[in-house]
Amino acid sequence: MGSTAGFTRKEKKIILKYKEVQGITTKGRKRTAAPEKKEENGMLSVKENFFETVKPDGHPDRLMKQYEGLAFLNMNPVLKYIRGDRHPGMPPTKDRFGTEILWPEGQVAAMPHVTEANKVIPDITEWKDYLKIPDIVKECSDPALWEPYIKQAEEYRAEGKILMGYLPTGLFERLHFLMGFEDMLMNFLLEPEAMHELIDAIGEYRYQFMKLSVDYLKPDVVISHDDWGSKRSLFISPDTWREFIKPHYQKMYSYMNEKGVLVMHHADSFLEPIIDDMVEIGINIWQGALPENDIVKIQKQVNGKMTLMGGIDASIVDRADSTEKEIRTETRRACETYAPGGHFIPCITYGGPGCLYKHVDPIINDEIDKYNKKVYGV
């Protein structure tokens, strides 16, 4: 977070407090944090509080502030190989799967651009003729490639940070990147055999991606992306999801659970119909829990087996013209509504740290601080 120029005096004060809490100097550099330990005032450390929040029988002493304490390991040799060098204003490019990627100036992130003319798989029954799955085991297994990322992870760990690995572009997302959304939905219904073959191939790729990341970086938690629905419903029926998608995540997340790595699955979607399945496949934290879901009901349903991270409506708070009052009111609503149910982390529903507009996060976090002081006395 850079200069506070352009903010009101009150907003500047909030931002400076946010920097202090996050360990950021006035020059924008992170201060080296002490190793995890109890705070002098007897509070749990940020890291301890995170694990207590997630444990089914944990006893956190306050609400976390979004991605507080998490060191986001958002680059590694696999992503570098698959994605290449992405940046705003880059010319149209293709990833290793052949999907065209655009990132115009002024757009917040790179996005796939799939048309009738450029879709990678125009005919699912002939998918092997169109698609070559990247061989990341061959191209990305050299330990020398991972050394700088391992070093960075070790530095974060020495600072007492919670290491968060990153697995973007999930199985379902990869499908519509390759053929477009309409073709994907039709192929589930009309060509299930070919879809199973393709999904098996992509699922194995994603399993190896996960395994390389976990084995080399040894993260505490991995955020794994795959949006399975809109704000109103799943994109496919629960039974179709269970047949095609669920088995691959069960395999992948079982490996992570066995290695002691927490699974944070990001899906800013309506997922009520598959909540029990999400617990079953080993998701420890559902990141992106939209308020369109009945979060209070889900908290009772999962009974501590899965932590919900989200609840703050981005459409209200993360706008260029959002006011301090709007941001505080929505944040307080989420805290007051969902915190009593336990295993809840108030957070914007995006799959990574940081709101789009720089005035938003400091106010959200300050309001969580105010709630913690009022309710928990810390």
Q: What is the pLDDT of residue 40?
A: 59
Q: What is the pLDDT of residue 228?
A: 98
Q: What is the pLDDT of residue 9?
A: 55
Retrieve residue 195's tokens: 């879809």
Rounded Cα–Cα distance for residues 278 and 257 (Å): 13
Could you say which architecture CATH assigns to the domain 45-77+119-375? Alpha-Beta Barrel (3.20)
Rounded Cα–Cα distance for residues 287 and 268 (Å): 7
**So where are the chain's domains?**
45-77+119-375
Asked whether the beta carbons of 339 and 376 are under 8 A apart, the reply is: no
DSSP one-letter string for 117-178: TT-S-S-GGGHHHH-----HHHHH--HHHHHHHHHHHHHHHHTTPEEEEEE-S-HHHHHHHH
Q: What is the pLDDT of residue 36?
A: 45
Asked whether the beta carbons of 231 and 270 are under 8 A apart, the reply is: yes
Q: What is the pLDDT of residue 139?
A: 98
Asked whether the beta carbons of 47 and 36 are under 8 A apart, the reply is: yes
Q: What is the pLDDT of residue 326?
A: 98
Q: What is the pLDDT of residue 8?
A: 54
Q: What is the pLDDT of residue 42?
A: 84
Angle value at C-alpha 36, between 165 and 307, nearest 5 degrees: 50
Angle value at C-alpha 330, between 326 and 334, nearest 5 degrees: 170
Asked whether the beta carbons of 287 and 266 are under 8 A apart, the reply is: yes
Q: What is the pLDDT of residue 360?
A: 98
Spell out, as residue ranges, where the chain has pLDDT lower than 70. Answer: 1-41
Tens digits of per-residue pLDDT, 23-82?
433 333 333 343 344 555 689 999 999 999 999 999 999 999 999 999 999 999 999 999
Rounded Cα–Cα distance for residues 210 and 163 (Å): 15
CB atoms within 10 A of CB 144: 7
Q: Which is nearest to 258 in space by CA: 295, 188, 193, 211?
A: 211
| Amino acid (one-letter) located at 179 | M
Alpha helices in the chain (DSSP H): 9-22, 46-54, 77-83, 127-130, 136-140, 143-158, 171-179, 181-190, 192-217, 238-244, 246-258, 275-280, 295-302, 314-317, 324-338, 360-375
Asked whether the beta carbons of 54 and 285 are under 8 A apart, the reply is: yes
Q: Which is nearest to 53 in space by CA: 241, 281, 304, 223?
A: 304
CA distances from 177 to 86, 98, 112, 172 (A): 17, 9, 6, 9
DSSP state of 45: P
